[in-house]
Amino acid sequence: MFKRLFLLFLTLSLFSFNADGKVRLPGVIGNGMILQQQSEARLWGWSKPGYSVEVKASWLTEGYTTKVGEDGKWSLKIKTPAAGYTPLSITFTDNDRENVVVSDVLSGEVWVCAGQSNMEMPIQGFWACPVEGSNEVIVEANRYKGIRYVKIPSVMRMTPQDDAQCEWRKADTGNVADCSAVGYFFARALNRSLDIPVGLILANKGGTRVESWLDEANLKKYTQEPLDSADIVKKFSADYHRPLVWGNGTFNPIINYSIKGILFYQGCSNVGDPEGQYTSRLKLLVEQWRRDFRQGDFPFYFVQIAPFVAGDRDGDWNTRLRQQQLEASRVIPNSGIVCTQDLVYPYEVDQIHPSQKRQVGERLAYLALNQQYGYPNLPCLSPSYKRMRVEGSTCYIELNDTYHSMNRMQDIEGFELAGEDRVFHPATGIWNFDQGVVLKSAEVQKPVAARYCWRNFQMGNFANAAGLPLFPFRTDKW
């Protein structure tokens, strides 16, 4: 009875709220926001059905007008200027002539930071999970102007939400501690390179699976996930593992916002997925988001999960998920992946939130700067396996994306060789520019397969000329 009365009160409240006619804006459109530069940025909100809403921007001589629909919603697109640090303003007015002014607006580059806890992890870290160099970052934050962020509250909903209670903040010394560390280091690198404002929309939730962000139609068509609320709760006692609800509550409120692209760091909760399943579902999620944002195939850059013991240091289920992520980067158009194989310390074997977040954000920025912002000579790709050949007891591995050199010619760690018995043994390796990685193992006289860091937690030391680490790989299908 109480639930029915509450729902009735909520419905009446919404009706009376819209009936007063005053323009209402979503939380993500507010003071201090950053608009995607040189675009037709989408603005939207609510007012009384049938009213006209007029929008005037300080950088334009003419205004925009649109009609409010029967559902009380309105939306329009507005041309935005080139990026700059000059504060702008936007005024919204409807038939009641009661202005709503959004001030201190900047034009710049807007990126969404999505995924689970390694993306959510703030500069100040989590409990028992520090971010390396956090105090220095906080103290120096005021040196970087024009970096701002808005955190969308992490909430579950069974139906798609079109608003969230949130506000834009400057990533200064007073606020940066609460900003996504990966997102901030990405934004800082762009800000330093391009000298323009960068806005981050933080829409993520720790522990979520890729299915947590898929919508009802995709879950129904491509998965066997439960979609009834009672069945969802029954199957997933941990709320962060639940499908559908996080996309509805935490991500849907931002899909009307005009963006440059999405940064994604997720995968730990999908370790153990059948071969190919995570790859196809991540591709499906990107297609869903690109459809919903209605901005074409915008860039999607994501992070390969770092080494983690995952119950057994020498098991391979963690690295099998990493391989699925690498495959996803090959089938998702306009995407890129960064390797984090080297960004753990030996003592972090049980740490699912490694402390080295600066390098993660900066590697994402290398992708963006190279592929989106006109810096083609900036190395941005980690090396990956290309082909193998065997001559006698010696195995030769050829790699992609070396940038004409590797970080070492000897003392290479992380490679293993196996013979027909399928037992892998550590291999010694040297780098030869003409022949690639030359591998030998005293225990393997006739190698038939090679692996690199193909264990849940195994730290290699091989990287290309830019210091970007080699992706884990295996040549066998055992």
Give the residue from 351, 349, 348, 329 showing the smallest Cα distance to 338.
329
pLDDT tens digits for range 408-417? 999 999 999 9
1: amino acid identity, one letter? M
For residue range 294-331, what is the model confidence (pLDDT) as tens digits? 999 999 999 999 999 989 999 999 999 999 999 999 99
Contact 384, 471 (CB under 8 A): yes
Is there a contact between 33 and 69 (Cβ–Cβ < 8 Å)? no
- Going by pLDDT thresholds of 50, 70 and 90, the confidence category of residue 97 is confident
Q: With left for phi above 0 and alpha for psi between -120 and 50, is residue 169 left, alpha or beta?
A: beta
Supply the pLDDT for residue 441: 97
H helix or E strand, kind and range, residue 185: helix 181-194
Angle between helix axes 358-371 and 181-194 (nearest 10 degrees) is: 40
* pLDDT > 70 in the chain, percent: 96
pLDDT in tens, 9-68: 444 444 334 445 589 999 999 999 999 999 999 999 999 999 999 999 999 999 999 999
pLDDT value of position 96: 87
User: What is the average pLDDT across 224-232?
Assistant: 97
**For residue 329, what are the CA distances in angstroms to 7, 251, 255, 280, 336?**
44, 22, 23, 11, 6
Give the least confident one: 138-142, 159-163, 432-436, 471-475. 432-436
Residue 354 is predicted with a pLDDT of 98
Q: Are strands 394-400 and 424-426 parallel, antiparallel or unpaired?
A: unpaired
Q: What is the mean pLDDT of the chain?
A: 95
HSE-CB of 368 using CA atoms within 13 angstroms: 29
| CB 173, CB 147: distance < 8 Å | no
Q: 252-308, pLDDT tens digit by residue?
A: 999 999 999 999 999 999 999 999 999 999 999 999 999 999 999 999 999 999 999
Q: How far is CA 260 from CA 36, 37, 181, 275, 370, in A?
A: 7, 9, 19, 31, 14
Mean pLDDT of 195-223: 98
pTM: 0.94
Per-residue pLDDT at 19: 46
Q: For residue range 330-375, list pLDDT tens digits in order.
A: 999 999 999 999 999 999 999 999 999 999 999 999 999 999 999 9
